[in-house]
Copies of this chain bind each other. A is one copy, B any other.
């Protein structure tokens, strides 16, 4: 029997992850025996998806993470029983840049509270932490290599990236001390992310696909030549599950694993949209530069030599056309004209 906690369990990735876990119904935790998923506790400030809330295996804990996992919090019991914790809850990049205190509270303090709760409760769960490529940053006084790898020194250029990197370090030390078994996965920009726009600086990298496919105009705030590192929702979930199911030995240590990237320019993304959905869809993009967003996004690396992830069997998406088609088929987006799939 495996009991799972998902923080940010009502978010896009948390919801998708919960659905996959519950539909598969079993899990080989950290390379051990295959066990049924007996309970999934979703912790979030906002309500869980209806299908999940209706599942008898699902419990929902509502509130700020630091409160619900802190002393006396209503999430303590679930955590005390958890074999596996996915820590996905976070404030996103642009909102942390606009509101420094929010980021420190939602990303750093909440993570500290979660780690401390795991330590106090003494079950030593596997804790999969969704870190981010935003730990890396290029700046005037510190250029990044063109291709980053597992040994590249992060130099975060946003408070969000700094907070994620600090949480990686805390997770590694809690792991080294034996308080839990941490696995940090650096997600790339997930595209195409379904749903409503959010306050991530990278949000437009889904918006410029998702909104036109829904017949709405979208704004691209960066130059078409901007290179970005993408991962599809499916590959992002694959990576989180690989982190949970790998043995300690194959995972290879408490430092973070950066995912393999599909590297594209924004212009190439739009060309893929045009191929898949036609020019009347891709023409719904307005190019309106936003220096604040551009500064954050262009500080991130776009090319990744993801040695450790590749050794774990993780692969990048093969092409963006298929990613767009996956989004259409999953969300029922109905573009004006979808050419036949070859």
Q: Which residues of A contact B (CB under 8 A)?
A: 100, 139, 141-142, 151-157, 159, 162, 165-166, 169-170, 172-173, 176-177, 252-253, 255
The residue from B142, B165, B177 contacting A169, defined by CB atoms under 8 A apart: B165
**Residues of B contacting A100 in the complex (Cβ-Cβ under 8 angstroms):** 177
- Are A173 and B156 touching (Cβ within 8 A)? yes
- Are B253 and A142 touching (Cβ within 8 A)? yes
Copies of this chain in its oligomeric complex: 2
The residue from B142, B159, B255 contacting A155, defined by CB atoms under 8 A apart: B255
Q: A166-B166, A166-B169, A166-B170 are in contact. Are A141 and B253 (CB under 8 A)?
A: yes
- Are A162 and B173 touching (Cβ within 8 A)? yes
- Are A142 and B173 touching (Cβ within 8 A)? no
Q: How far is the CB of A306 from chain B (nearest CB, A)?
A: 15
Q: A162-B170, A162-B173 are in contact. Are A253 and B139 (CB under 8 A)?
A: yes
Give bound CA distance, A159 to B155, whole Å: 21
- Are A159 and B139 touching (Cβ within 8 A)? no
Q: Please name the residue on chain B nearest to A119 by beta carbon.
A: B100
10 closest A-B pairs (Cβ-Cβ)?
A141-B253, A162-B173, A166-B166, A153-B153, A151-B153, A162-B169, A166-B169, A159-B173, A142-B253, A141-B252
